[in-house]
Amino acid sequence: MTTAKDLFIIAMDPERSVGQGDLSLALAGAELIDLIGAGAVALDGDRIVPGGPATPDDRLMGEAAAGLTRQAPYERIDDWLWRRGRDLSSTYQAALEQDGELTRKRSGHSPFGSERLEPADTSAHRLAADRGREEPVLAALASIMGIGGERSDDDDDEPGLDDDAVTTVVAAVHDAVMELEAVRQRRSIEKAAFANVWRGP
């Protein structure tokens, strides 16, 4: 399993609620971290520099590698997160359902109750849960989404991350999620103000 797939499974815990936008950005970051680990890319400051030709075994990682910008000036990390992350959670959901790692269950006893999606009881699910507790990269990405504790804005360095490139990506994911939250809050305020105008004094 890739870091992104493990992260998706962890985020699908029925007792947790993670926004699709936040998850999509974190998944794009997880893919980038795996590409760095495989030597498919390197970072030059905040730019993603493609390495040698990579043929990842995982289909979604192959798509990520194929989507790299291979001409200078290379793509910035934050631009990659927004571009690659667009609807990425839906892509991973479909792939994991197809692989049997996610299952749909109906709430309540009625056969007509609403469906919910949750991780299947598989060895991959159990391994993902173990990795989420033990691996700093997964723990750091999960914490950005509010899983296992919030990451403080003052935390410039993630504990346990001993690779500068990985730390840079995690920080970029954090900033992107914070930017998305700011957009949500602004839209909520604008919507409330618009509603007040229509209600009148």
Secondary structure, 3-state, the chain:
CCHHHHHHHHHCCCCCCCCHHHHHHHHHHHHHHHHHHCCCEEEECCEEEECCCCCCCCHHHHHHHHCCCCCCCCCEHHHHHHHHCCCHHHHHHHHHHHCCCEEEEECCCCCCCCEEEEECCCHHHHHHHHHHHHCHHHHHHHHHCCCCCCCCCCCCCCCCCCCHHHHHHHHHHHHHHHHHHHHHHHHHHHHHHHHHHHHCC
Q: Give the residue numbers spanning the domain of 91.
A: 3-106+115-199
pLDDT for 157: 47
Kindly tell me if the per-residue pLDDT of 12 is higher than 90.
no
Whether the CB-CB separation of 48 and 74 falls below 8 Å is answered with yes
pLDDT in tens, 114-155: 566 777 777 777 777 777 777 899 999 999 998 875 444 444
pLDDT for 156: 43
Largest separation between any pair of C-alpha atoms in the chain: 64
pLDDT for 153: 46
* Total of domains in the chain: 1
Averaged pLDDT for residues 32-39: 93
What pTM was computed for the model? 0.82
